[in-house]
Structure 1
Amino acid sequence: MSTPDSSGLFHGHYTVLDDREFQVRGRTLFFVVIVVTVVLLVTVFLLYARWVCRTNHARHAPPQKPCGLDAALILGLPIVLYQSSGDLESAGSGECCICLGVFENGDKVKVLPECRHCYHSDCVDTWLSAKSSCPLCRTSLRSNSDEVTQVVVQ
């Protein structure tokens, strides 16, 4: 069944896979241990430095100002009832860009004083409690809020 030539091929491959050639001795083992130790120490040091930076940043970070507008100012914005033949439609504001709903006759619509963009009252109230700009053109309403605050204080 087996020919003498085929047994010679297996014998040649078997001697190449001798386990004695894969032994780690003396200096090689020492250098492997040193390299692994250095990598572990550097990793632990970097993780510790990251933790220290995060905890110090959290302690020394200045308190952030609220991004949205004051609730009194939001409630003070004028509310109008939408009419399809009125000035609001001629300004090109036939839909609320926050909820993407089309304005119907009789909807409560708020008109922002700076840019005159119109939104559903509930939609823009939620938006302005988180952000202080117009959702469409990003015109800041903070400057207007400072003027309103000064008028109320005087």
Structure 2
Amino acid sequence: MSTPDSSGIFHGHYTVLDDKEFQVKGRTLFFVVILFTVVLLVTVFLLYTRWVCRRRRRPSNSSSSSEAPPQKPRGLDAALIRGLPIILYHSSGDSDVEAGCGECSICLGVFEDGEKVKVLPQCRHCYHSDCVDTWLSAQSSCPLCRTSLQSNTDDALQIIVQ
């Protein structure tokens, strides 16, 4: 059998705590205060720089002569969009329509025989009229091949007229 003193490292009762082991001495307290102050100052500095960066990103409300001119809309003119040719789709194959044009690549809907589809003059890709009208009011290119329709606006009008 072992004696109580030799069985464990801990001597004394569990309810009695020796406060001498938990004392914070002057030097340790000084370093804790310095560390807390440094962390606080770094946090304040980072918050300030974040505030300054956000404030600089905001556009100024004052009008100055150095402001860039407003960008023109990226989409096509409504008259040009309305003037694009509309044909009746036939699954048997049509010479006016790009080969393999069996579905609208915007809504992914399959064309049915006799359905009206709009054909873009430069690339001959076809789409549902509502789908491509919405697209072309925001973008000036073919949704499938990205051929620019705005650069050849006069050519497109001539093709439409013919």
Pairwise same-fold verdict (TM > 0.5): yes
Per the alignment, residue 81 of structure 1 pairs with 88
Give the CA RMSD over aligned residues.
3.2
Structure 1 residues 36 and 61: CA distance shift in structure 2, 3 A: farther
* Aligned sequence identity (%): 54
Unaligned runs of 5+ in 2: 158-162
C-alpha separation between the residues in 1 aligned to 2:76 and 2:34? Answer: 63
Structure 1 residues 70 and 89: CA distance shift in structure 2, 3 A: closer
Residue aligned with 1:102, SS: coil
C-alpha separation between the residues in 2 aligned to 1:140 and 1:133? Answer: 4
C-alpha separation between the residues in 2 aligned to 1:116 and 1:107? Answer: 17
The worse-fitting range, judged by mean Cα deviation, of 115-124 and 46-55 is 46-55
Unaligned runs of 5+ in 1: 150-154
Per the alignment, residue 51 of structure 1 pairs with 54
Structure 2 matches for 1:129-140, cutoff 5 A?
A: 129-140=137-148
Structure 1 residues 54 and 61: CA distance shift in structure 2, 3 A: farther
Structure 1 residues 45 and 143: CA distance shift in structure 2, 3 A: same
The aligned amino acid for 1:25 is: L
- Deviation string, structure 1 residues 41-70 (Cα, Å, up to 9, x no partner): 311321222122211478756533322212
The answer to whether the Cα contact below 8 Å between 1:77 and 1:112 also exists between their aligned partners in 2 is yes
Per the alignment, residue 39 of structure 1 pairs with 42
Structure 2 matches for 1:4-83, cutoff 5 A?
A: 4-6=5-7, 8-11=8-11, 18-21=21-24, 24-26=28-30, 28-56=31-59, 60=67, 62-83=69-90
The worse-fitting range, judged by mean Cα deviation, of 38-47 and 74-83 is 38-47
Structure 1 residues 18 and 58: CA distance shift in structure 2, 3 A: farther
TM-score, reference length from structure 1: 0.75
